[in-house]
Amino acid sequence: MATSTSGSSGQLSNLPQLHRFITGHNQSGEAVVQADNDFQWKPYDNNNMAFSVVYTTSSMPADLNNDQDHKEHQDLLSSGNLGLVNPNGTVIRCVDFKPGYSCAMHRTQSLDYGIVLEGEIEMLLDSGEKHQMKRGDVAVQRATQHQWRNKSDTEWARMMFVLQDVKPLTVGGKEMKEDLGATGDLPSSGN
């Protein structure tokens, strides 16, 4: 039977609330929804952005036997030890960006797929490159130093990110380690 939760979600933006459905199997091997609930949001950087962790895995490939992945996900969230990246695993996270907000320039040691869901966002790279992204555009971040900027003065922007741990990356003899920028507000991954 599916479990459903409601109540205060912590959402900061005026964008539509999103809902998550987690599937699994009943005793006959048929697909069922095991859990469904609204996204739960956590504010960062003085309420200029909010994160909602949709799901995590703690191994690659993930172990779905006996719902091991779901148990590991719940344990990880309960522990409070999830960084931006889950070492040896994956994270899918939704991020809302306040109008006019730019997050700190940062790098994760991960392979990330960032999809614009609402509004427009500017991707800035440490080389000085800037790229405007609109709804449906995808950025594939390969452990690069980057920043997100919502250039709108009035509208929130929303992106969905899938982050996957990677082997340590070396470019030109320099190891490209995690760098969370100057805010110190983002959770460290430790990878």
168: domain CATH number?
Answer: 2.60.120.10
What confidence score (pLDDT) does residue 184 get?
A: 62
The reply to whether 65 falls in a domain is yes
How far apart, in Å, are the Cα atoms of 9 and each of 12, 22, 43?
Answer: 9, 18, 11
Length of the chain counted residue by residue: 191
Task: Name the residue with tokens 């320039």.
Answer: 105
The reply to whether 26 falls in a domain is no
The reply to whether 32 falls in a domain is no
What confidence score (pLDDT) does residue 109 get?
A: 93
How far apart, in Å, are the Cα atoms of 10 and each of 13, 39, 176?
Answer: 9, 9, 34
The reply to whether 89 falls in a domain is yes
- Residues 6 or more apart whose Cβ sits within 8 Å of residue 78: none
Within 10 A of 105 (CB to CB), how many other CB atoms are there? 16
The tokens describing 102, both together, are 């730019």
Q: What is the value of pTM for the model shown?
A: 0.91
- Cα gap 24→163, rounded to integer Å: 22
**Range(s) of the domain holding residue 141:** 42-175
The reply to whether 167 falls in a domain is yes
Count structural domains, the chain. 1
Per-residue pLDDT of the chain (191 residues; tens, 9 = 90+): 444 444 478 999 999 999 999 999 999 999 999 999 999 999 999 999 999 999 999 999 999 999 999 999 999 999 999 999 999 999 999 999 999 999 999 999 999 999 999 999 999 999 999 999 999 999 999 999 999 999 999 999 999 999 999 999 999 999 888 888 776 677 777 77
What confidence score (pLDDT) does residue 6 get?
A: 41
Helices (H), ranges, the chain: 68-79
What confidence score (pLDDT) does residue 180 get?
A: 82
The reply to whether 171 falls in a domain is yes
Instruction: Please choose, from the candidates 46, 183, 43, 159, the residue with its C-alpha nearest in 3D space to the C-alpha of residue 104.
Output: 183
The reply to whether 127 falls in a domain is yes
What confidence score (pLDDT) does residue 178 get?
A: 83
The reply to whether 84 falls in a domain is yes
